[in-house]
Amino acid sequence: MSDTDDGWVASKVQLDRESYRRRRTRRSVLIASVSTVVVVAVVVLVVVNTPGWPRFRSTFLDLSYGWEVLPDIASGLWLNIRLMVICEIAILIVALVVALLRSLRGPAWFPLRALAIAYTDLFRGLPLILVLFLLGFGMPSLRLDWLPKSGLFWGCVALVLTYGAYVSEVLRAGIESVHPSQRAAARSLGLNHGKTMRFVVVPQAVRRVLPPLLNDLVSLMKDTGLISVLGVVYDAVLNAKIETSQTYNYTPYVVAGVLFVIITIPLTRLTDWVARRQGWTGAGGTV
């Protein structure tokens, strides 16, 4: 916009338009601020005046206790973050393989396709908590020497299997959304099925489903906290639980919650940003 050197001076109409827009922006900012303050004030007043408030405050919002347990929980959270990164990589690999298997055509591939379908149907239907219990407690109890016994390991496997099923469906939707003419164009150049997928279809598919993929990543971050039900992983949630069971004060849970939110907010913002940049219509949109 540096072409003011053409001697352009804004006309009166343009100046009027701009000053009107400025006034309108100021007014909406003012209205938004006032209404936010009023709503917050009302909520605080209502909550503080409930009969159980003093008790609630001491068991859930004990600031000094919260500060005391913060380092423990934060170090647990570091484990959650590492778990998320490792699981996410495994999930993407599993999901891509399953999505590609499902997109194979022709009778020769039927067994693999059927297997992939059975896998997604099964793991999308099972509640994550059930998979965690079945694998986390079930696998080690088989007493097979060659199987890992670590609850952490099986917890991750449960997350990868469950999320792999969801993410593979997202990727498959993306693959199928690439118009058949793109495939035809690639095949007509002599690219075989594999190369067509690798260079033409999958790159376009991934771009399209990036927002929902990031959405699943946020969700995965939170669900790493569920591994604590196996009681073997000293992550943020379990550390909070240990503290709580000693004092019957629930502040550690609140601290863990706040930390999770702080971690996931940048991810959600990133998701929004990517979505906006691609003109994706938000969480309501189907992929």
Partner 1 sequence: MTNLGKQPAAGGGGLLQIDGLRKAYGDQVILRDLTLSVPEHQCLVLIGASGSGKSTLLRCINLLEQVDDGTILLQGNDITDPRVDADTVRAQVGIVFQAFNLFPHMSVLDNITLAPRRVHGIDRGTAERQAREMLDRVGLADKAKARPDDLSGGQQQRVAIARALVNKPLLMLFDEVTSALDPELVGEVLTLLTDLKHDGTTMLVATHEMAFAREVADQVVFLADGSIAEAGPPSQVMDHPSDPRTQKFLRRMSF
To partner 1, the closest distance from the beta carbon of 193 in angstroms equals 9
Give how far Cα 91 sits from Cα of 99, 181, 228, Å. Answer: 12, 30, 20
Looking at the Cβ atoms of 263 and 287, the one nearer to partner 1 is: 287
* Planar angle of CA 208, 209, 214, nearest 5 degrees: 135
Looking at the Cβ atoms of 125 and 194, the one nearer to partner 1 is: 194
To partner 1, the closest distance from the beta carbon of 105 in angstroms equals 13
Looking at the Cβ atoms of 56 and 109, the one nearer to partner 1 is: 109
To partner 1, the closest distance from the beta carbon of 161 in angstroms equals 31
Looking at the Cβ atoms of 192 and 219, the one nearer to partner 1 is: 192
To partner 1, the closest distance from the beta carbon of 182 in angstroms equals 6
For residue 259, give the nearest of 132, 87, 79 by alpha carbon: 79
Structure tokens at 68: 């005391």
Looking at the Cβ atoms of 113 and 183, the one nearer to partner 1 is: 183
CA gap 123, 157 in Å, rounded: 12
How far is residue 170 CA from its own chain's centroid?
A: 13
**Is residue 239 within 8 Å of residue 73, measured between CB atoms?**
yes
Binding site for partner 1 (CB under 8 A): 181-182, 184-192, 195, 199-200, 203-204, 207
Amino acid at 114: A
Say which residue the tokens 């927002």 belong to: 211
To partner 1, the closest distance from the beta carbon of 53 in angstroms equals 56
